[in-house]
Structure 1
Amino acid sequence: MDSKLMTRSRTAVALTVASAALLTGCASGSATPAAKDDGQPIEVWARAGTDAATTYAAMFKEFTDKTGVQVNFQGVPDLDQQLQTRAASKKLPDIVINDSAALGNYTSQGYLQKIDKSSVTGNDAIADSLWNETTGLDGATYGVPFSRQTMVTMIRKDWREKLGLPIPTTQEELAKLATAFATQDPDGNGQADTYGMTVPGSTERGYLGWWASSYLWQDGGSYLKDEGSGKFSASASSAKDGVTWIKQQFCTPGNTQPGALTAATSVASPFFQTGKTGIILTGPYNFSSFDTALGKDAYEVIESPKGTEDNTVLAEGENIYVTASNGKPDQTKKVIDFLVSADGQKAGMTAGKQPVVRVPVNSGVDAAAVYNDPRWAVVQDALKNSSKAFPSAINFVPIKQAAAEALNKIVSDCGADNIASGLKDLDAAIDNELESQNAKS
């Protein structure tokens, strides 16, 4: 998910002006020649919990064994908060690996150096569409793609087959399946204790806006329209059909889990994991925990059923960011070249218990083959053929937050005819935010 909105600081902006160069030979906004490496270990941070941090550590050990370059790695769960603290002391870590959606926020704060993608070994093995997601409002490149993933729909296969129902191919069929899971005792325990969908409907960190985006796109709507040249316009009013379908799920008893309107992902996901809901739209990062809790054969992974337009789903991922404090151009290039190489990508997939590379950005690496798991082919196909990312050049966090708050208000009142008016208010809020970022068309 996106990082929390951070306040622009003079200190962070000053870092850009004072920073040393990386791959371009100069810092963002600076003509100072690149500093020579100081011989100290290069400091790399990633937003990672314990399992992911273990994978990163193993991956960087392999890197050091190959290159001799020492890495001081830290997995930092509250990464953005810690970056603010380091920015205040004018000493950011050298490299940060974090969400691709963080780019707009980081560039607005002056955290990052520009990158010359042509100097990245193997840059042509990374799709142009992924490089486009590392471009700032000024047209410069501020990151290197590292990992991508997209949402897929996971369904309790055993429940569906017990009820004799088909794999859903449309939103309408998905909703009917959710109702059946809530009303027909699919687990056979004789109790009315199962529900349809797992939904993170909370406004916290914009969760509802994040989850709902796929269904809005599938029905021809969106929060924003990209007008080109770094400019956008609000377009939430186009999402009426998608919001209507979403509201129907919240307002049909049992189609969403209890407390969905206030549930963050940490609260919502256990409903699927513990056998209380039968449908979840989520990323492949949950495969391991669901396999352990439910059994790999208990649920199936499919591309999202189609709405009135298509089956577009949200794509996310991680970029490698070079900070304004970085004064180690040679070491940095070696780190980046390794991370996007076939060996580095495979290490990120297999070196530990939890992959930190989900779908590789290197076109020479096949996730389904590396994992020996056909479910990853579903993820890869969805990513390639039917996915869409939030705009990364702008700070999308407040827009996602505004969407979550507007949608939560709309779906909370099942008796109100409030969709059109609620989306009109959301458009106004989005336009105001775009204007504040100088990104409004």
Structure 2
Amino acid sequence: MDSKKITRSRAAVALSIATAAVLTGCGVGSSAPAATDDGQPIEVWARAGTDAATTYAALFKDFTAKTGVQVNFQGVPDLDQQLQTRAASKKLPDIVINDSAALGNYTAQGYLKTLDKSSVEGNDKIADSLWDEAKGLDGATYGVPFSRQTMITMIRKDWREKLGLPVPKTQEDLAALAEAFATQDPDGNGQADTYGMTVPGSTERGYLGWWASSYIWQDGGSYLKDEGDGKYSATASSAEAQKGVTWVKQQFCTAGNVQPGALTAATSVASPFFQTGKTGIILTGPYNFSSFDTALGKDTYEVIEAPKGSVDNTVLAEGENIYVTASNGKPEQTKQVINYLVSTDGQKAGMTAGKQPIVRVPVNADVDAAAVYNDPRWGVVQDALKNSSKAFPSAINFVPVKQAVAESLNKIVSDCGSDNIASGLKDLDTAINDELTKQNAKS
């Protein structure tokens, strides 16, 4: 691995350790003073841009009208950076709503209080599997599930039908469709200006590891294995993972199957290729429905069940949890906020109160996404989440693992003339095991 990248990784670990030490004064350590109520409205932060923040504001307006509890809500796009700033002052916001995958990082830095699942009204409406994702390495619960989603495959239906090709059922079908989109002028403009797949192949924020995970899982591979008791081991060099990475590399090394510049493209750079009619396939989240409907037209593209690999059609599941921070001194208001957010009213408000849903697939079993949205595409998302999805481990800090994966895969797929898959994945195993050792999570 590149020495500069190793240095950056070590610096990030050092920062995490330093922040954890600072937060010992927030009530995490046994000798720390108890958090107290400052008399101000309960402060809630979420990673949210303008549209999502508007939905949160409408949701909390409804909450305050129902309960009388005042909420100081802030949508914070650079959430983790701002949390570190607040941690230095030993005063975090009272509640943070963020990715379920952030749990391991937050517990490692001492940001969170443990939670009693039984104290949440309607906790039995939330699947046990989701509660399990909210547990730390010590087995304690550190978050309350709030929203979930899966990656889904979207295809330009008009292009596919113009070329007389079927809906892809397998990875091989998907690759063939991508090649057809790149070579058979599906938009009919007489120019060679279309491509197969939109791919965020950048190492930035681990994007390539994030995107590739579904395809690797579909061939039975994985980046690491949960050995139980809070311990994990790297499995990136397994025969199954090698098979999945072989398919991924073939897409990069087949002219036109991915968009130009894919190896350096983050999602913000990659997604517009699909949205502007340059690519015909994208694996992404349902949060893009609104923008794609506006740009392309709802009937122009289709949402399909993920094509199968050699084993199954597993896709990446993600979502958001509600976290109670170590400096929270408002237990009664906190309980009311949590109970509302996971209630039927709160979940529906999170889906419909603004331009952009902040609850994609509800965690409350009494709420049906396809019915609330009146959109059968959400049924595809719900079915995938229930029947064929997998989440990254949340108990550990998965961020550096995902980063190591992205860097290794980027190196592998960028060298089309080299048979480097086995050796590259063996090196990745070493990097993952080193990170697990740092986190005291290596089996």
User: Does the aligned pair in 2 maintain the 1:16–1:113 contact within 8 Å?
Assistant: no
Amino acid at match of 1:161: E
* Separation of aligned partners in 2, 1:259 and 1:34: 52
The one-character-per-residue Cα deviations of 1:298-332 (angstroms, maximum 9, x if unpaired) are 00001210000000000000000000010000000
Residue number in structure 1 paired with 2:166: 166
Residue number in structure 2 paired with 1:23: none
Aligned pairs for 1:36-435 within 5 A: 37-238=37-238, 239-435=241-437
* Separation of aligned partners in 1, 2:304 and 2:236: 27
SS in 2 for 1:296: coil
Q: 1:204 to 1:33 in 2, by over 3 A?
A: closer
Structure 2 stretches lacking a partner, 5+ long: 1-10
User: Does the aligned pair in 1 maintain the 2:26–2:91 contact within 8 Å?
Assistant: no
Cα drift, residue 34 of structure 1: 7.2
User: Does the aligned pair in 2 maintain the 1:18–1:30 contact within 8 Å?
Assistant: no
User: Does the aligned pair in 2 maintain the 1:12–1:88 contact within 8 Å?
Assistant: no
TM-score by length of 2: 0.95
SS in 1 for 2:308: coil
Cα drift, residue 18 of structure 1: 4.1
Q: 1:221 to 1:432 in 2, by over 3 A?
A: same
CA RMSD of aligned residues (A): 1.5
User: Does the aligned pair in 1 maintain the 2:36–2:328 contact within 8 Å?
Assistant: no
SS in 2 for 1:237: coil
Amino acid at match of 1:351: A
SS in 1 for 2:349: helix
SS in 2 for 1:196: strand
User: Does the aligned pair in 2 maintain the 1:42–1:72 contact within 8 Å?
Assistant: yes
Residue number in structure 2 paired with 1:25: none
The one-character-per-residue Cα deviations of 1:345-399 (angstroms, maximum 9, x if unpaired) are 0000000000000000000000000000000000000000000000000000111
User: Does the aligned pair in 2 maintain the 1:16–1:112 contact within 8 Å?
Assistant: no
TM-score by length of 1: 0.95
User: Does the aligned pair in 2 maintain the 1:16–1:29 contact within 8 Å?
Assistant: yes
SS in 2 for 1:193: coil
* Separation of aligned partners in 2, 1:157 and 1:195: 15
* Separation of aligned partners in 2, 1:316 and 1:82: 22
The one-character-per-residue Cα deviations of 1:98-143 (angstroms, maximum 9, x if unpaired) are 0000000000000000000100111000000000011000000000
Cα drift, residue 13 of structure 1: 3.6
SS in 2 for 1:297: coil
* Separation of aligned partners in 1, 2:102 and 2:173: 35
SS in 1 for 2:316: strand
* Separation of aligned partners in 1, 2:217 and 2:353: 35
User: Does the aligned pair in 1 maintain the 2:236–2:426 contact within 8 Å?
Assistant: yes
Paired-residue identity, %: 85
SS in 2 for 1:438: coil
Residue number in structure 1 paired with 2:7: none
Structure 1 stretches lacking a partner, 5+ long: 20-27
Cα drift, residue 30 of structure 1: 4.0
SS in 1 for 2:299: helix
User: Does the aligned pair in 2 maintain the 1:37–1:330 contact within 8 Å?
Assistant: no
* Separation of aligned partners in 2, 1:354 and 1:337: 22
* Separation of aligned partners in 1, 2:66 and 2:26: 32
Cα drift, residue 36 of structure 1: 6.6
Q: Verify: 1:15 aligned to 2:17, yes or no.
A: no
User: Does the aligned pair in 2 maintain the 1:206–1:400 contact within 8 Å?
Assistant: yes
